[in-house]
Structure 1
Amino acid sequence: MNDELDIELTSRYPVVYPPISNSGLHGFECGSGWFHLLDATGCLIQRRMDAAKSEPFVAHQIKEKFGELRVYYSHGDAYVSAVIDVIEGLSGRFCEICGDRGEIHEDQGWLSTRCARHLGTSAGKTVQREGQEAPQTGASPLHSPSIADVIDSALSLFGGNPTHVIGWYTRQAHALGGIAPVDLLNHPAGRAQLLRLIGQIEHGVYT
C-alpha cells in the first residue's frame, strides 16, 4: 500500500492500526486496491470498541497471502472476528492493485487477485486507483451508505455468521437481476440498493 493511504488509515484508526514508526506508517503489506476494505474494517472495529468499551483491538500484521487479505491481531470479540472473516473472504473479489472487481488468478504457482487490466502487475507498483469514489468511511454529502454500513447490516441479517454473509455477497441474486451483491459494493448507488434489499429480506419481502 502506498504511504499516503497507509497514513490515512493510521490517522483515522490509530488504535486499530497503530503506527509502528515515527513516519506514522502502520506498514500494510498489501496493495492499495484493498484500502476500501481496510477502511471499512477499521470503521466497524472502532465503532464496536466505542460501543462495547471492550479491550482495544490491535492489528499486528496485515498482508496478502494466497491472493487474499490476512489480518493478524490480538483481542476483539465475536463481532470483530466476524468482521475480519468477512473482509478477508471478500478480498478475493477485488483487485489488490486498483480495487475494481477482480478474481484470484494463478501465475507460475503464485496466487493474486487482479482485474483484467492488472493481470501480471506487482502489488508493489504504484497504480492510480480508478473506478472508485474517494476513500471515505462515513456517509457522503448525498447520504450514501458506506461499505462499513452495508457489511454491518449483512452481519446483523445473518446473525453474525461470516460464512453466510460471504455466501450471500458472492452468489448471484435474483432480486438484483442476477448480479452478485459484491459487484455493487464499490458504488454509492449500489450500496443503497443493497441496504434496501437487506431491509426487504428482514421483513420477508423477496421481490
Structure 2
Amino acid sequence: MNNFIERLLADQYRTLLFSKDFSEGAIFGFECNDGWANLIEATLRLTQQHAELKALDVKVTQVKEKFGQLRIYHRGGDGSIGAAFEIAESVSGSVCEMCGMPGAAICIDGWLQARCGHHSRPHQIARDENLKSDENYIASYVEAVNLILSFFGEGAVLWVQQERTAFAGRRPCEMLATEEGCQTIFTFLNRLEHGVGV
C-alpha cells in the first residue's frame, strides 16, 4: 500500500494499530495493494466504534493479502469484531486489490488474486496511483455491516457468504463491495427489523 494511504490510516486508527508507546509518524505496514484501502478503512472504523462502545481493548496485529483475500489478524475484542474481520475477508474477494472496483478472485500466473476485468490480465499489474478515499462507500459499508451483525449475531458471517433469494441469488459479501449494494442490504434488513414487508 502506498505510504500516503498508510500514514492516513495509521494516524486515524492509531489506537487499533499501535501500542500506547508508539512513536509519532510510525508506519503500520499494510501488506496489500491500494484497492482495498476503503474496505480496510471501513472495517477499522466499524471496529473502533464497536470497541469504544463496549470498552474493548482491540489491537490489529497484521493486515495482508493471502490467497486472493484480505486477512486482518488481531487480538482482543469480542465475537462481533471477529465477525466484522471475517466479513471484510469475504468481501475483499469481490473487490479488485489494484483499483477498488468490483471484481473476483482469479488465478494469475498460479496465484489467486482479487481483480476486476481491467486488472485481470497478467501484464496489467500497474496500480492506480490516483485512488481516493470514498467516504460514501465507507459510511454505507459501516452502516450495513453494523446492521448485519446486530441482526444475525453469530450467524452474520454465514449469512453474508451464502446466496440469498431476496437479492436474486447474489451473496451479500459480493454486494458489500459497492455503495449501492451496501445500501440495498441496509434497506432490506432495516425493513425486516421494523416488520415492513419487502
TM-score (norm 1): 0.80
Q: Is the CA contact 2:10–2:17 (under 8 Å) kept in the aligned structure 1?
A: yes
Q: Structure 1 residue aligned with 2:189, among 159, 180, 198? A: 198
Specify which of 146, 150, 154 is matched with residue 152 of structure 1.
146
- Give the superposition deviation at 1:175: 4.0
Closer, same or farther: CA 89–186 of 1 in aligned 2, 3 Å: closer
Post-superposition Cα deviations, 1:97-128, rounded to whole Å, max 9, x if no partner, equal 11111111112321111111011244xx4314
Give the corresponding residue for 1:35: 37
Match of 1:11 in 2: 11
Match in the other structure for 1:108: 109
- In structure 2, the partner of 1:164 is 158
Preserved CA contact (<8 Å) 1:158 1:164: no
1:46 to 38, 45, 48: 48
In the aligned structure 2, how far is the partner of 1:21 from the partner of 1:94?
33
Measure, in 2, the Cα distance between the counterparts of 1:190 and 1:79: 21
1:9 touches 1:17 (CA, 8 Å); kept in 2? Answer: no
Structure 2 distance, partners of 1:18, 1:180, is 34
Please state whether the residue corresponding to 1:27 is helix, strand or coil. coil
Kindly state the Cα deviation for residue 31 of structure 1 after the two structures are TM-superposed: 0.9
- Between Structure 1 and Structure 2, how many residues are aligned? 194
- Cα shift at 1:179: 5.2
The 3 A distance-change label for structure 1 pair 190 and 66 is closer
Deviation of 1:134 after TM superposition, in Å, equals 3.5
Give the counterpart letter for 1:100 in structure 2: M
Q: Any gaps of 5 or more consecutive residues in structure 1?
A: none
Q: CA deviation at 1:180?
A: 4.7
Amino acid at match of 2:26: G
Contact persistence 2:90–2:173 (CA under 8 A): no
SS at match of 1:105: strand
RMSD: 2.8
Q: Which has the higher helix share?
A: 2
1:70-107 Cα deviation digits (max 9, x unpaired): 11222121111111111112111111111111111112
Give unpaired runs (5+ residues) of structure 2: none
Whole-angstrom CA distance in 2 between matches of 1:187 and 1:15: 27
| Whole-Å separation in 2 of the counterparts to 1:159 and 1:65 | 26
Q: Deviations over 1:149-200 (max 9, x none)?
A: 11111111212424323225xx2x5544565544544554543332111112
Q: TM-score, normalised by structure 2?
A: 0.83
Q: Structure 1: how far apart are the matches of 2:174 and 2:75?
A: 31
Q: Once the two structures are aligned, what percentage of the paired residues are identical?
A: 29
